[in-house]
Structure 1
């Protein structure tokens, strides 16, 4: 069975908030759910066009920029709202994450602990940066959207991101210790081999 294109549900959810152009949708996705969901322009625009053909979204208006470009702003239709609600009620389809860091670590013995340690350190630095940014987003949303009926739902997704990043940082620390021990052990073995020659 082919995987369902979940891009359309991200689009429908965003358009339930307000009418948006493709560019606005991309920005809204990045600024709200971007820590756990991303869409490329290459996927977003064709999906938006298909959804218009299927009657899930409709052209709300066209805005003309001074440079002559036409900006199409879409709104969700009643049918689009029904499709989104139906999808929201269905069980979540499990998926296997593709994690390049873990794949490289799994085969890391081929290049030694130093290369793996560098990957872990890089991942840790990225996670620290993302965690700081997500904490700021969380504080800002709580302050600026206090009392908003969707705030508890938004906060659940932000909390998952915060806790996931905190767990990743703890794992990075454990991985660092293990790889540093391996580097010391391998360094000692190489020294012994040189001394024997």
Structure 2
């Protein structure tokens, strides 16, 4: 199944936990599965409306804000739970990763080690921030869901993210060392060429 069409299953999974509005769903996705699953928020609201038409979700209630805006809160239906369960039992399709950082490093010899090193440093800083945030999420989930049957499932998905980020940070350190050595070699080679030209 294509990535775009899984939006409805992310929504169904979240609504199985509790009724939510589209805004609530955005926040829940960001705080829980956001470290490994991203949804287009422009796609979320139309998908939610379509799911209502298909009977997968239904309106739980409408809440009126002071500004006059109506907040629609949805809940999952029996048909929605059945559709989610069927999807959860299907084999996972092979995932082809699109990693712009690795693509740029693969062709990095065209510009030199300094540019590649800068990409690695930015990626490392970003990974450090994500790791810190995910550790807080892990701690919050373990405390708030202690004894809950969902906890092993939630913890394993978070654990995969933690281990992946820790491995990425180790790789960044190796890449940094490699590019720093390349940069020093480049400077040394350039100096030797300049010395040779001067003496010639």
Match of 2:122?
122
Match of 1:51 in 2: 51
- In the alignment, structure 1 residue 149 sits paired with structure 2 residue 149: yes
Q: Distance in 2 between matches of 1:136 and 1:161?
A: 12
- The TM-score with structure 2 as length reference comes to 0.94
> If the length of structure 1 is used for normalisation, what is the TM-score?
0.96
DSSP-derived class of the 2:124 partner: helix
Question: Are positions 1:132 and 2:132 aligned together?
Answer: yes
Aligned length, in residue pairs:
197
What secondary structure sits across from 1:59 in the alignment? strand
**Aligned residue number for residue 18 of structure 1:** 18
Q: 2:192 aligned with 1:187, yes or no?
A: no
Q: SS of 1:62's equivalent? A: strand
- The CA deviation string for residues 2-60 of structure 1, in whole angstroms up to 9 with x for no partner, is 66601110000000011110000000011111111121220111111111111111111
| Aligned residue in 1 for 2:77 | 77
Matching of residues 25-44 of structure 1 within 5 Å? 25-44=25-44
Q: Partners in 1 of 2:154 and 2:32 — Cα distance?
A: 9
Misfit runs of 4+, over 3 Å: 1-4
Deviation, 1:84, is 0.2
Q: Which residue number in structure 1 is paired with residue 97 of structure 2? A: 97
Return 5+ residue gaps in structure 2 as ranges: none
Deviations 1:81-102 (A, max 9, x none): 0000000000101121111111
1:162 corresponding residue in structure 2: 162
Q: CA deviation at 1:126?
A: 1.0
Q: What is the CA–CA distance in structure 2 between the aligned matches of 1:41 and 1:51, rounded to whole Å? A: 15
Equivalent residue for 1:6? Answer: 6
| CA–CA distance in structure 2, aligned partners of residues 195 and 46 of structure 1 | 67
- Secondary structure at 2:5 match in 1: coil
Unaligned runs of 5+ in 1: none
Q: Distance in 2 between matches of 1:14 and 1:140?
A: 17
